[in-house]
Amino acid sequence: MRLSKEKLKELIANKLHKAGLSTEHADGVADVLVHADARGVHSHGAMRVEYYAERIAKGGLNNKPNFHFEKTGPSTAIFDGDNGVGHVAAKLAMDEAIKMAKENGVAIVGVKRIGHSGALSYFVQQAANENLIGISVCQSDPMVVPFGGAEPYYGTNPIAFAAPGKDGKHITFDMATTVQAWGKVLHARSKNEPIPDTWAVDSNGEPTTDPFKVNALLPIAGPKGYGLMMMVDVLSGILLGLPFGNKVSSMYHDLTEYRNLGQLHIVINPEYFVGLESFQEGISTTMKDLNNIKPASGFKQVSYPGQRSAEREKAYEENGIEIVDHIYEYLISDVIHNNVYDHKSPFAK
């Protein structure tokens, strides 16, 4: 099924509103989910709606949060999301970070006590759209074996980065610190497709290609990915006084409870360093240089980070966003949720 961005946003927002979110917050979540689907990151798009709807309906997300923003220094601040939807809190916190970076050259804003916030590329692109550099990191529930370990401790703990070039083009980088994000396993499950044996392990700690047998994910590049996910956990958990490591709340364990997650935005204003025009010229030159590198066997071109997603987004705008049929059927149905996520393991089927 192919849908326009506008129609997909409408269906998602309507479902989340029926689950209990205000119209404003339902629209805000839908913006982030459609952003993900439009860039081909379906693991963070419409397939997440039923999970959110179930958690909202059961009270595990505050549908009337009292957001609070407090500056703690000239370039530092805390945004308390009061356990509302993370997508909206993270967006508003980035708006504040952008204002501070424009005034002071740099901003670091901690976002605390929020629910899952979706694709981090959305938030760093907010900064890039304002000719600023955006960096965002966030913690997630333990589902990754640390290098050398046999049981999960850290989450997929993603990192995102965006920098503005000329003519509205950005370099955008958004990655989990695992070989793949958990959402990619969910996407494979939704299509009943196997996964590469380098993504995850089963209950015996052995590599598996069956997405339904996944019991833990693997860090990217072994000890290097392990170190990165530790760094993210420190910056978005310990630094903000929140639960960290294997104490981070599970996505599925109890959908009636708030999750108290953390996220950290860092925004840098190039004007305070090399100057915006020179910086944008450097980013645009980087893009061209990468595109002009001789491609390896099996590749048509070297793409700069975010290029293929941007091209995919343009194609989807022309032809519609492809949505799995059963997800579409759920979105157009009168069902709020099917009670399939609550009190499941982190690897719920």
pLDDT in tens, the chain (349 residues): 899 999 999 999 999 999 999 999 999 999 999 999 999 999 899 999 999 999 999 999 999 999 999 999 999 999 999 999 999 999 999 999 999 999 999 999 999 999 999 999 999 999 999 999 999 999 999 999 899 887 889 999 999 999 999 999 999 999 999 998 777 887 888 889 999 999 998 888 888 999 999 988 999 999 999 999 999 999 999 999 999 999 999 998 899 999 999 999 999 999 999 999 999 999 999 999 999 999 999 999 999 999 999 999 999 888 999 999 999 999 999 999 999 898 776 665 5
CATH at 213: 3.30.1370.60
Catalytic residue, from 25, 42, 116, 170: name it.
Answer: 116
H or E element that contains 251: none
This prediction has a pTM of: 0.94
The count of domains in the chain is 1
Classify residue 344: in a domain, yes or no. no
Parent domain of 90:
2-275+310-332
Is residue 158 included in any domain, yes or no?
Answer: yes
- Domain assignment of residue 33, yes or no: yes
135 phi, psi to nearest 5 deg: -130, 135
Is residue 25 among the annotated active site residues? Answer: no
Q: Give a yes or no: residue 161 inside a domain.
A: yes
Domain membership of residue 289 (yes or no) is: no
Partners of 262 in the beta sheet? 112
Tell me if 294 is assigned to some domain: no
Residue 69: C-alpha distances to residues 96, 144, 256, 319 (Å): 8, 32, 26, 40
Does residue 296 sit within a domain?
no
346 part of a folded domain: no
